[in-house]
Amino acid sequence: MDIIDHSEKNYKESDTGAQIRIDGIVMFLDELMAVALGDALKAIFSCLFVFLYLNFHTHSCFLSTLGMGIIVLSFPFTAVITNGIFQIKYFGFLQIMIIYIVLGIAADDIFVFYDAYQQSKDMDTGIMKTQN
C-alpha cells in the first residue's frame, strides 16, 4: 500500500468545512504493527491448537512436543535453503501464510503415522515370520 493512497483514504471533511487529514508515517507504522501483532497472535493460537490436538489424539506430550518442534524447525531450515543456497531475497506475504499449510500437512502426517503404528499392534505376527 502506498503512503499517498493511505493518506487519501483517510481524508475527512468536518461539518464546519474544515479539512482534517489523518496522515503520517508514524500513524501508518503504528497501524501496520497492530495488524501484524494480531496476525502473529492468530498464528500462535493456531500452533497452540495443533499442539493441544496432537496431545489429545496421541496421548503423549513427548510426541506432541516433538511434532511441533519439527514443524517449527522447518521454517528456519527453509529460510537457509532459499536465502543461503538459492540466494532468493524476496519474502512476501504469502510466504508468511505458509505456516497454516505446513501446520495442516505436518499434523496430518503425524496422525497418519500414529494411527498406522496403533493398527500395527493388531496385525498377525505370523506375517512377519519368514518361511524356510
Q: Would you state the pLDDT for residue 15?
A: 60
More reliable by pLDDT, 10 or 41: 41
Q: 22 and 12 in contact (C-beta within 8 Å)?
A: yes
Which grid coordinates are listed for 89? 531475497
Sort residue 87 into left (φ over 0), alpha (ψ -120 to 50) or beta: left
pLDDT tens digits, 30-73? 888 888 888 888 888 988 999 999 999 999 999 999 989 988 88
CA-closest candidate to residue 109, choices 75, 79, 66: 66
